[in-house]
């Protein structure tokens, strides 16, 4: 039995405008409309003997991650919250420390939450080989059998063959130029570096202590002062912030004598760009990959993703077109690596489109900012059954609530009452209030805000069941 460790950090800026800071690619249904990349990563392990996973993500994504685990029936899975990003070596150290603190010393299967693996059977076969090697004390990585001379990945060179289908790692190499990548492909001695690992918790901590003791020391200090909040584990922010930033490869794998690689030929992709989604997607007769309401005329080899409106194209080829409620991206398929430069521009201009969508997820549900103008804002709010917004007040705005469907329990000053479909209520400026869904179906309502300032930071919370300040 092994313990999955799912790394769900990162912002996925090259998949803007769908992937954004508060809702990055690992939480999006980019390949399968029924499940996110994170959920697909976990479901890929079905049929194998494993513990509930440990999920590693940052504080901003904690409720999004918890909800997606809940949808899989994994409410009891542990979620480790990183106060700051410090790359993979510290993240996996925290997971190993948490695993061993529970009195066990499991084998950890370290996976990225945003990878695609199309051949699950082949993945399971490689995993079986890797498990056997990890049980012998090896630190195992998965080497992707290359299909073309890729310059965007690091490579590793295989050395002597081992039992169970593995090889000694001869060396890790950086991203090559096209000529070198072709030479690697032709030699048959190199694999793409997948960033997936399987290793026993104590062995990883032992080797980390040998080769990167400062990382281990900082992680131990941060974990010793960790706080448990529901299923969230919060490590000490000050101690973890002092941790050096490094990857598993640089910190451990390039130095240990026990690094081995197991080949993986399973239709793998890191879904690192829109062109990767085009390459892995189901294409029509003209080589187009289509998502949503799309009409084409004389269009070839393009990726078109419509989320809320009809998108029509005429006489184009090799384009990526992404439509969302508040942004549209049009890019040549060969230039999509530079989408992150648009995100950088949004950040420098302090625009919100790099941070969040119009739809914003909260632990109690979701809201969609439908319209806004001078001194007013309109939102459509969905509150999950049994969920409750914080007891709060606003200094600068009043709120009107109109229930579209379901039933709301409203606290309005000293009064608490029910508001049902087609009824409304009014919350004056400065009034302490709360909203709750006591029913068994989602509560849908329209909120009209009016006032001199309508920012989300005009919230004073007095009580919150989700532990928010």
Burial class of residue 406 in the structure, from the number of CB atoms within 10 Å of its CB (0-12 exposed, 13-18 middle, 19+ buried): buried
pLDDT score recorded for residue 108: 98
- For β-strands 408-412 and 415-419, DSSP reports them as antiparallel
Q: Report yes or no: 32 and 38 within 8 Å, Cβ to Cβ.
A: no
| Mean pLDDT (the chain, rounded) | 95
Same domain, 145 and 280: no
Same domain, 261 and 281: no
Same domain, 150 and 243: yes
Burial class of residue 8 in the structure, from the number of CB atoms within 10 Å of its CB (0-12 exposed, 13-18 middle, 19+ buried): buried
Q: Look at the chain and report how many structural domains it folds into.
A: 3
Q: How far is CA 273 from CA 18, 318, 369, in A?
A: 11, 14, 28
Q: How many CB atoms lie within 10 A of CB 41?
A: 24
Same domain, 207 and 283: no
Is 469 contained in some domain? no
> Which of 236, 269, 302 is a domain's end point?
269
Same domain, 263 and 375: no
Confidence of residue 42 (pLDDT cuts 50, 70, 90): very high
CA–CA dist 64, 466 (Å, integer) = 12
Residue that is written with structure tokens 């965007």 in the block: 152
Q: Could you give the angle at the alpha carbon of 381 between the alpha carbons of 379 and 384, nearest 5°?
A: 170
Q: What is the mean pLDDT of residues 258-281?
A: 96
Is 352 contained in some domain? no
What does pTM read for this prediction?
0.91
Q: Could you give the angle at the alpha carbon of 123 between the alpha carbons of 122 and 126, nearest 5°?
A: 85
pLDDT score recorded for residue 319: 98
Which structure tokens are listed for 271? 């879904």
Least confident of 62-71, 85-94, 422-431: 62-71
Which structure tokens are listed for 277? 């989604």
Confidence of residue 124 (pLDDT cuts 50, 70, 90): very high
pLDDT score recorded for residue 229: 81
CA–CA dist 346, 327 (Å, integer) = 12
Same domain, 104 and 69: yes
Q: Report yes or no: 25 and 19 within 8 Å, Cβ to Cβ.
A: yes
Beta bridge partners of 321: 304, 330
438-469 pLDDT per residue, tens? 999 999 999 999 999 999 899 999 999 887 77
pLDDT score recorded for residue 225: 81
pLDDT at 61 over 80: yes
Q: Report yes or no: 56 and 112 within 8 Å, Cβ to Cβ.
A: no
Confidence of residue 424 (pLDDT cuts 50, 70, 90): very high
Is 379 contained in some domain? yes
Same domain, 56 and 127: yes
Same domain, 220 and 366: no
pLDDT score recorded for residue 36: 97
240-269 pLDDT per residue, tens? 999 999 999 999 999 999 999 999 999 999
More confident residue, 152 or 117: 117
- With a CB cutoff of 8 Å and minimum separation 6, the contacts of 420 are 403, 407, 408
Q: How many CB atoms lie within 10 A of CB 412?
A: 18
Q: How far is CA 216 from CA 114, 132, 175, 211, in A?
A: 26, 26, 28, 10
pLDDT score recorded for residue 469: 72
> Which of 254, 269, 284 is a domain's end point?
269
* Start-to-end CA span in the chain (Å): 39
pLDDT at 117 over 90: yes
SS3 (DSSP) at 285: coil
Same domain, 262 and 281: no
Same domain, 60 and 209: yes
14-33 pLDDT per residue, tens? 999 999 999 999 999 999 98
pLDDT score recorded for residue 231: 80
SS3 (DSSP) at 310: coil
> Which of 347, 372, 405 is a domain's end point?
347
- Going by C-alpha positions, the residue among 398, 289, 354 that lies closest to residue 31 is 289
Beta bridge partners of 49: none
**Percent of the chain beyond pLDDT 70?**
100
Least confident of 145-154, 229-238, 293-302: 229-238
Task: List phi, psi (to 5°) of 22.
Answer: -90, -5
190-224 pLDDT per residue, tens? 999 999 999 999 999 999 999 999 999 999 999 99
96-107 as b/e: b if 16+ CB within 10 A: bbbbeeeeeebb
pLDDT score recorded for residue 10: 84
Task: Assign residue 122 the CATH number of its domain.
Answer: 3.90.550.10
Same domain, 47 and 160: yes
pLDDT score recorded for residue 143: 97
Same domain, 175 and 99: yes
Is 468 contained in some domain? no
Q: What is the mean pLDDT of residues 110-131?
A: 97
391: containing domain: 359-463
């Amino acid at each position: 039995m092994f313990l999955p460790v799912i790394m769900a950090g990162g912002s996925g800026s090259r998949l803007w405008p769908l992937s954004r800071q508060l809702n990055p690619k690992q939480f999006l249904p980019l390949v399968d409309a029924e499940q996110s990349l994170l959920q697909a990563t976990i479901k890929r392990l079905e049929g194998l003997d494993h513990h509930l996973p440990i999920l590693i993500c940052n504080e901003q994504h904690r409720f999004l991650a918890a909800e997606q685990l809940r949808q899989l029936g994994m409410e009891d899975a542990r979620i480790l919250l990183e106060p700051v990003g410090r790359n993979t070596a510290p993240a996996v150290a925290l997971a190993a420390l948490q695993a061993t603190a529970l009195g066990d010393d499991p084998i950890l299967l370290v996976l990225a939450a945003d990878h695609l693996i199309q051949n699950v059977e082949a993945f399971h076969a490689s995993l079986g080989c890797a498990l056997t090697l990890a049980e012998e004390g090896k630190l195992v990585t998965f080497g992707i059998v290359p299909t073309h001379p890729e310059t965007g990945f690091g490579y590793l060179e295989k050395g002597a063959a081992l039992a169970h289908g593995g090889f000694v790692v001869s060396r890790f190499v950086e991203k090559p130029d096209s000529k070198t990548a072709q030479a690697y492909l032709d030699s048959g001695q190199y694999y793409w570096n997948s960033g997936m690992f399987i290793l026993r918790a104590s062995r990883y901590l032992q080797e980390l202590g040998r080769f990167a003791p400062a990382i281990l020391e900082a992680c131990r200090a941060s974990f010793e002062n960790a706080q448990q909040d529901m299923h969230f584990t919060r490590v000490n922010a000050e101690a973890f912030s002092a941790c050096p930033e490094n990857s598993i490869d640089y910190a451990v794998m390039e130095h240990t004598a026990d690094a081995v690689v197991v080949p993986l030929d399973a239709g793998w992709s890191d879904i690192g760009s829109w062109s990767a989604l085009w390459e892995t997607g189901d294409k029509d007769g003209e080589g187009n990959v289509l998502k949503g309401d799309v009409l084409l005329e004389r269009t070839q080899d393009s990726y078109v993703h419509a989320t809320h409106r009809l998108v029509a194209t005429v006489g184009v080829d090799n384009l990526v077109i992404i439509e969302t409620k508040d942004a549209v991206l049009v890019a040549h398929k060969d230039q999509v690596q530079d989408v992150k430069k648009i995100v950088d521009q949004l950040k420098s201009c302090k625009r919100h489109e790099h941070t969040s969508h119009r739809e914003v997820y909260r632990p109690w549900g979701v809201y969609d900012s439908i319209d806004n103008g001078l001194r007013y804002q309109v939102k459509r709010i969905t509150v999950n059954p049994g969920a409750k917004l914080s007891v709060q007040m606003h200094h600068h705005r009043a709120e009107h609530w109109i229930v579209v469907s379901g039933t709301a329990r409203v606290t309005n000053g000293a009064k608490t009452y029910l508001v049902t479909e087609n009824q409304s209520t009014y919350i004056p400026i400065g009034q302490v209030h709360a909203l709750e869904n006591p029913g068994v179906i989602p509560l849908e309502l329209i909120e009209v805000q009016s006032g001199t300032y309508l920012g989300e930071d005009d919230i004073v919370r007095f009580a919150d069941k989700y532990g928010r300040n």
